[in-house]
Homo-oligomer: A and B are copies of this chain.
Amino acid sequence: MQALGAMDRIQLQQLADDLSRRYAEFQARRLNLDMTRGKPCAEQLALSNGLLEIADYRAADGTDCRNYGGLEGLPEARALFAELLEADVEEVLVGGNSSLAMMHDTIVQALLRPLPGASEPWRGTAPVRFLCPSPGYDRHFAICQYLGIEMIPVAINEEGPDMGEVERLAGGDSSIKGIWCVPKYSNPTGVTFADSVVERLATMPTAAADFRVFWDNAYAVHHLTGAPDRLANLMAACKRAGNDDRVFVFVSTSKISFAGAGVAAMASSAANLRWLKQGLSLQTIGPDKLNQLRHVRFFKDGEGIAAQMRRHAEILKPKFDRVEQVLAAELGERGSARWTKPRGGYFVSLDTCDGCAGEVVAMAAAAGVKLTAAGATFPGGKDPRDRNIRIAPSMPSLSEIGVAMELLAICVQRVAIRKLLD
C-alpha cells in the first residue's frame, strides 16, 4: 500500500476510479447503518436483565423505597457510588437516570446563585466562559451554547488538555468559570489524563474564585483491555492543594447497566454538596430510590461492577478490533487519516486530512452509513480543521461495523484524492 502523497496524478486517478467503483457498489446495496451513537447494544443490555427481576423495596436501614424522601440517595447506593467515584460516602449524591441532567442542573444553579466562595452568581458577571478541551463531548458543548456560555476550545493531546493553555486562560480571565473534562477514555479521543495534568488542574491558580472543573468520569470503569488505565484522583488532589471546592465529579451506570434506566451520581466537597442540596431540595422530594436499590442488590459492590465491565468488554472489544482491522487494512499506509486505538470508553476518533471531514461524512451518508456530524466534537459544531470524525462501534454488529468502516475508508481516500487532484 502506497501513501497518497507518494503517488503521481495517474496513480491517484486510477485509485480514485477504483474507489469510485467500490463506492458505487456500496450505494447499490442501499445500506442503512448508524455509527453515530454511543449506545450499548442489546447483548450488553441483556447483561443487566437481572435488575428487572428485583422486586424488593426495603433498604438496609428499613427505608421504604416506594415512598418519598432521601434527597441524597439511598445510603447503600451512596456507598456503592463512593467506590466508583473514589470519594467518601458523605461526598456523594445519587440521583435519577441521567448524569447529564446533573451537570446541566449544576451549571444552571451556578448561573442563578453564588457558588461557595463567590458573592455573585455566574450570571451576575456576564459573560461566562468555559474551557472546552476539543475534540470533546458534543452534549457538554451544547449545554454551554444553550445557556449562553462562551466556549474557548483548548487542544487535547495524549496526556489530556494542553495545560499550559488551560493555566494561562483560567489564571488570567475571571470570566472563565469552568472546564469540561472527560478524564478517562475521553470522548472521543480515548485519552486518560496523565497524573501531571490532574495535579495541575488541582493546583493551578484561577482568576475566578468560583471556577469549577466539571469532571465527567463517564468511562471510569469502561476498560477494553486487561490492563486498565489508572486516573489520578482529582478530588483528593484538590484537597491536598487546599482547593477542596474546585471540582464536581459525575458518573452514571448508563453504560454499566441500562442506558435509559440507570442511576447517576456525583461527588464534591462538603461545601459544594451543601450548596447543591439547597437547590435540589427545592427541585424534588427525592430521586427514584427503587432503581437505586435494584442497582445495589444487583451489583453489590465495586467488584460486582468490575465483573460486569469485563463482560461488557468481551462484547465490545471485538467491535473495536474490527474497526481497527478494517481501517488498518484499508488506510494503513495511505497517510490520509489517523485514528485512535482506545483502551476503553466508547469511541474511536479519526482525523482525516484537513478540510475533508465534512465531505467524508456526507459521502458516507449518501451511501447509507450515518456518521456523527463532522464538527460535532467541537464547540459550536465547528471543527477549525474540519478533520475529526467520531466513530461509535458499540451498537452495530461486527459485520455492520466491517461494512461501515470499509465504506468510511473508501470515502476518506476518495475525498483526500479529490483534494490532491484539485
Contacts and interface: CB of A to CB of B under 8 A. Distances in A.
A37 B68 contact: yes
A36 to B, nearest CB: 12
A187 interface: no
A45 to B, nearest CB: 4
Nearest to A52: B55
B67 A260 contact: yes
A210 interface: no
Contacts of A31: none
Interface string A22-55: 0000000000000001011010010011001101
Nearest to A101: B284
A112 interface: yes
Contacts of A56: 52
B112 A108 contact: yes
Contacts of A123: 123
Contacts of A40: 67
Nearest to A41: B67
A275 interface: no
Interface in A103-152: 104-105, 108, 111-112, 123, 139, 142-143, 146-148
Interface stretch (A85-93, A285-293, A411-419): A285-293
A100 interface: yes
B261 A291 contact: yes
B290 A288 contact: no
Contact of A45 (B37, B67, B69, B97): B67
Nearest to A145: B282
Given A67-B40, A291-B261, A285 B100 contact: yes
B66 A45 contact: yes
Nearest to A144: B282
Given A112-B147, A282-B146, A285-B98, A42 B68 contact: no
A258 interface: yes
Contacts of A104: 282-284
Given A49-B55, A67-B259, A68-B254, 17 more contacts: A40-B67, A45-B66, A52-B57, A68-B259, A68-B260, A69-B260, A96-B288, A97-B287, A101-B283, A105-B283, A108-B112, A112-B148, A139-B282, A259-B285, A260-B286, A260-B288, A261-B291
11 contacts: A49-B55, A53-B55, A66-B258, A97-B287, A104-B282, A104-B284, A105-B283, A112-B147, A123-B123, A260-B287, A261-B291
Interface of A: 37, 39-40, 42, 45, 48-49, 52-53, 55-57, 64-70, 96-98, 100-101, 104-105, 108, 111-112, 123, 139, 142-143, 146-148, 254, 258-261, 278-279, 282-291
